[in-house]
Amino acid sequence: MSCTLRLTIVSLLMLSLLGCENKRVIRPANIDKTQTGANTDAGSSKQFVDQAVNYLDGLDRYEPVRVKSEVLEQLNRWLNVQKFDKTWQPDPMIADLPSEVQGLPRLQNLETRDFLEQPNGYPNFTMRGSEFDFFVGTYWAKTISNWIRETKLPPESMQKFLDAQENKTLDESQVADLGLAYLLFDWTVRHIQPIKPTKYEEGKFAPGTSRDVWEALQLNEGDALERARVFIQLCRQQGLDAVVVKFGKDKDAVTQVVGVAIGKELYLFDTAYGLPISTADGTGINTLSRIVEHPEDLQAMATKNYKYPVSADDLKDVTLLIDAPSTSLTQAAYLLEGVLSGDSTMKLYVSPSSLKDRLADFQGVTDVQLWMVPFLAEEAMSKRLSDPDLAQLFSVERWLYDTPTPFSMARMLQLMCRFEGESQQPGARRLFLEARILERKFRISTPSEQLEILKASGMDLPSDPKSQQVYLDRIHKSMVMWRELASFNLGVISLGAGQNESAIFFFQDGTLKEFPNTRLKSAAYYGIGRACEALAIEEDDPAMAQNAYDIYTDDDDVLSPYRRGNTLRAERLPLIEKQEEPAKEDDKADAKPMAEPEGDKPEAEAKPDGKAEEKKAEAESSDETAPAPMEEKDSPEKDSAES
């Protein structure tokens, strides 16, 4: 093995720490507060807040456990010198919650408590469980929503609808808000994948409670209600009021719709279907007042095989549910939000009563309540840790995302919207590519070469040859997992950037072909369908529209959470003649993956081909004497690891 190749892999392995045996940790350097405009006056308590925000801004540079400790320590140091308002009272709507919810630990002492550390008894393998989780989730939501607002525009078809609303029902700023709400929703449904739970998780969590917002963002997965919570948080960070809209009585209530308040209307978005509730003609975004007056409009959300789950009777009982995590109800969050300014501004505090006062008179609204789901989701971690199977899954998940590795670093940069390298620092795209390449290079090395690499990285290895092989196998399985998740996330990045050929490559070849048993199967099909749909519209190509139709309707998993939304997307596709006999609901048609994109795009184009990106990155990380890489088709299917 060449020296250059060895050094490249060693440098990545040193980043990864690859397990508890490696005693070295990555320590954060001293933060230069002058670079961020922080208050360095030792007599001012504001400096503690500035330092905490600086650590959040440095999530990609500093060791996660240290960031968590510093953020909570600095915020509580600031809080301890503040004067609490003795007349401040928790929001009165909390008293309407069931007694068992009111009794949860995080809803106690909301008037005077500090920001909470981990509860006693939490194991060492996780840094999670403190209110740092709330702050990092809020920070990610702010960063993502700011990036969307500054860089994205609605597609042409949606922009036509928005333009038609100006001076008709909305003013110019309200039209802009509705367009932003659409973009935030579309980001949510492309990034938060409704992946079915594992056999160990199934039936153990109520809908919406298995993942808190920070975790749904970090893992980019969640059910319809967890999608709703992410969307609401993105809206909140942009000053948009969003609530869950519950249709019908408690027993049969539908809670998969989010309403965004703009002007005196609630515009509706279905997080299970991944589509706005459309106007009667199948376009635009409908409002609550309109569908209450015209229930027939909901027929636009039905397909030949699936009725829409909201009926005219359900519209007689409409309750708005306010998402307010326990931290957002504290006086501490109220005080902290008041001192944040400029780029540090985040929406931390929620006043449910104020929101109720605004929304209760909206047409069609029967009641406004606090939503119990956020409080139950906060308790989900203790449930995981008390169940041996769930605890094991959680341990693997936390190692994967909280231990510094090429993959976890790339995922962090993706959440911070740092996709391309800057100032000689690699971006998320490059690190995902390197995570893929690392697995391949480790796989084609001999066992002795692999051991040499690990020894050079400073890892303590077993002396027994049999134990060494077990250890190498464990490390390689971790790398296979990185490769699978990196491939999928490269597809997500490419799709969001409009690089649709590249997205198809990473979803199809990098994910489905290499890992046919992946839990991401339905999510990858959805990504391919979205890419084909975008290409069909961009190129006015009926054949590509037909490809999108086939992908949306040919996923063979009839229980896929995507199926109803995909069916509706397929029936609305332009440029093709609709199928006369669509598959029945219980049919299990064979999946038909898309054909590989034709040819590579020239380097000068703004939309690079996925394979070209990977080959370029691989060439830069090896030399002429390195072993030739295996072809994509040689990736071992049997090594597929569930994400």
319, 369 in Cβ contact below 8 A?
Answer: yes
Banded pLDDT at 610 (limits 50, 70, 90): low
Section 494-499 average pLDDT: 96
If you count DSSP H runs as helices and E runs as strands, how many of each does the chain have, helices first?
24, 6
526, 220 in Cβ contact below 8 A?
Answer: no
Q: What is the tens place of the pLDDT at every residue in 460-476?
A: 778 888 888 888 888 88
Query: Structure pTM?
Result: 0.85
The token pair that represents 539 in the structure block: 């190129």
- Helix, strand, coil percent values for the chain (each to nearest 5): 55, 5, 40
Say whether pLDDT at 563 is over 70: yes
Helix or strand holding residue 241 (H, E): strand 241-247
Banded pLDDT at 198 (limits 50, 70, 90): confident
Q: What is the tens place of the pLDDT at every residue in 200-222?
A: 898 899 999 999 999 999 999 99
Banded pLDDT at 60 (limits 50, 70, 90): confident
Q: What is the DSSP string of 412-435?
A: HHHHTT--S-BTTB--HHHHHHHH
Say whether pLDDT at 21 is over 60: no
Say whether pLDDT at 30 is over 70: no
pLDDT at 1: 42
pLDDT at 557: 74
Q: What is the tens place of the pLDDT at every residue in 393-431?
A: 999 899 889 988 889 999 999 999 999 977 678 899 999
Banded pLDDT at 558 (limits 50, 70, 90): confident
Residue of 517, 431, 515 whose CA lies nearest to 480: 515
- Lowest-pLDDT range, 67-76, 224-233, 467-476? 467-476
- Lowest-pLDDT range, 119-123, 383-387, 512-516? 119-123
Q: What is the tens place of the pLDDT at every residue in 273-310?
A: 999 999 999 999 999 999 999 999 999 999 998 999 99
Q: What is the DSSP string of 6-37?
A: HHHHHHHHHHH--STT----PPPPPP-GGGTT
Say whether pLDDT at 591 is over 50: no
Residue of 53, 240, 219, 38 whose CA lies nearest to 136: 53
| Strands lying side by side in the sheet with 254-262 | 275-276, 265-270, 254-262, 241-247, 318-322, 367-370
pLDDT at 609: 58
pLDDT at 590: 40
Mean pLDDT estimate for the chain: 84
Domain layout of the chain by residue ranges: 32-395, 403-639
Banded pLDDT at 604 (limits 50, 70, 90): very low
Q: Which residue has the higher pLDDT, 627 or 568?
A: 568
Q: Which residue has the higher pLDDT, 109 or 446?
A: 109
pLDDT at 6: 40
- Lowest-pLDDT range, 16-30, 89-103, 285-299? 16-30
Say whether pLDDT at 45 is over 90: no
pLDDT at 614: 60
Banded pLDDT at 578 (limits 50, 70, 90): low
Backbone dihedral angles phi then psi of residue 442, each to the nearest 5 degrees: -65, -40
